[in-house]
Amino acid sequence: MQTIVFANHKGGTGKTTSCLNVAYTLQERGHSVLLLDCDRQTNLTQSFTVDPGSTGHLGSVLLGQASLSDVVLEVGEGLYLVPSSPDIAEAEERISQKPGAEFALKELLDDVEAIDYCLIDTPGGLGKLTYAALTAANAVFIPAQPEYYGIEGLVGLLDVCHQVQKRLNRELVIGGLFFTQYNRNDRRRAQKDMVNLLETHPLFGPLVMQTTIRPNVSLVEAQIEKASIHTWAPVSAGAQDYQNLTTEILARL
């Protein structure tokens, strides 16, 4: 199983949207996918018709109150979800007080069999669960919106990834950074300048991916309808962009 994390300390950059749509794209290509929702906002969980209250959630597993197989939900053919809950905050807090908290997700995922890809959605901010996700992962991908960024924030995020590589997970590949809600044909100066700055930056240049995710309302509608973008709007810009992103992610693993 290859484990991929979508992370950015900034909120609202497209982590959940990317996790969801890369999962649907992998599913469409015949792969089995396990989704892990690590965010107390539960946006990924709410993208499916599920009742996580009845079976428990990732926090229950982290606290030893349930096993992963107790809480995993089949949300489509070959598509599985470990749901989150607002209560995950308490689990995060409690595991943080124990030694080796960073390995909590890795230990859970080591036991998973017969799944091709595990995709982990992380919250904004860099809490213990994000460190645990980076520790469990083969690769991290960073969705970023060009207009929102001070480059210092991204330098900080990359520094965290390097520390995880050094201390917790030597295998971690910093897979790449891709721009979301951005169109390369967009003429807006501020966005273009930011993209140029990152593409020519010594640290970030090699990480910037070819694919950008354009603003596309079909992605929002499909999520609300709890449907795959590839059945809801198969020829939309969103469906195309996530096909391209998935291809590029697999090539960078």
Ligand X SMILES: Nc1ncnc2c1ncn2[C@@H]1O[C@H](COP(=O)(O)OP(=O)(O)OP(=O)(O)O)[C@@H](O)[C@H]1O
The site for ligand X (CB under 6 A) is made up of 11-17, 39, 41, 43, 123-124, 180-181, 213, 215-216, 219-220, 223
For ligand X, the closer of residues 14 and 175 by Cβ is 14
When CB distances are held under 5 to 8 angstroms depending on the partner's kind, the choice from ligand X, Mg ion, none that residue 251 binds is none
Residue 156 contact, options Mg ion, ligand X, none, Cβ 5-8 Å cut-off depending on partner type: none
Instruction: State whether the Cα torsion 21-25-26-28 is positive or negative.
Output: positive
From the list ligand X, Mg ion, none, partner contacted by residue 52 (C-beta under 5 to 8 A by kind): none
Of the pair 50, 197, the CB lying nearest Mg ion is at: 50
- DSSP code for 9: S
Q: Among 75, 60, 38, 61, which Cα is nearest to 108's?
A: 61
Residue 244 CB neighbour total at 10 angstroms: 17
Measured from the CB of residue 118, what is the shortest distance to ligand X in angstroms?
Answer: 17
Q: Which does 78 bind (CB under 5 to 8 A by kind): Mg ion, ligand X, none?
A: none
> Phi-psi category of 140—alpha, beta or left, where left has phi over 0 and alpha has psi -120 to 50?
beta
43 binds Mg ion (CB under 5 A): yes
Residue that the structure tokens 């210092």 belong to = 152
CB 45 within 8 A of CB 181: no
Q: Does 57 bind Mg ion (CB under 5 A)?
A: no
Least distance CB 15 / ligand X (angstroms): 4
| Residue 216 site contact among Mg ion, ligand X, none (CB < 5 to 8 Å, cut-off depends on kind) | ligand X
Using CB under 5 A as the binding rule, whether residue 223 contacts Mg ion is answered as no
CB of 6 to ligand X, least distance (A): 8
DSSP count for the chain of H helices, then E strands: 12, 8
CA pair distance 88, 178, nearest whole angstrom: 28
* Cβ at position 27, least distance to Mg ion in Å: 19
From residue 124, give the alpha-carbon distance in Å to each of 7, 11, 39, 129: 8, 5, 8, 11
Give the residue with the Cβ less far from ligand X, 67 or 231: 231
Asked if 16 touches Mg ion (CB under 5 A), the answer is: yes
Report the C-alpha gap between 130 and 140 in whole angstroms.
Answer: 11
Residues in the chain: 253
Q: Which residues bind Mg ion (CB under 5 A)?
A: 15-16, 43
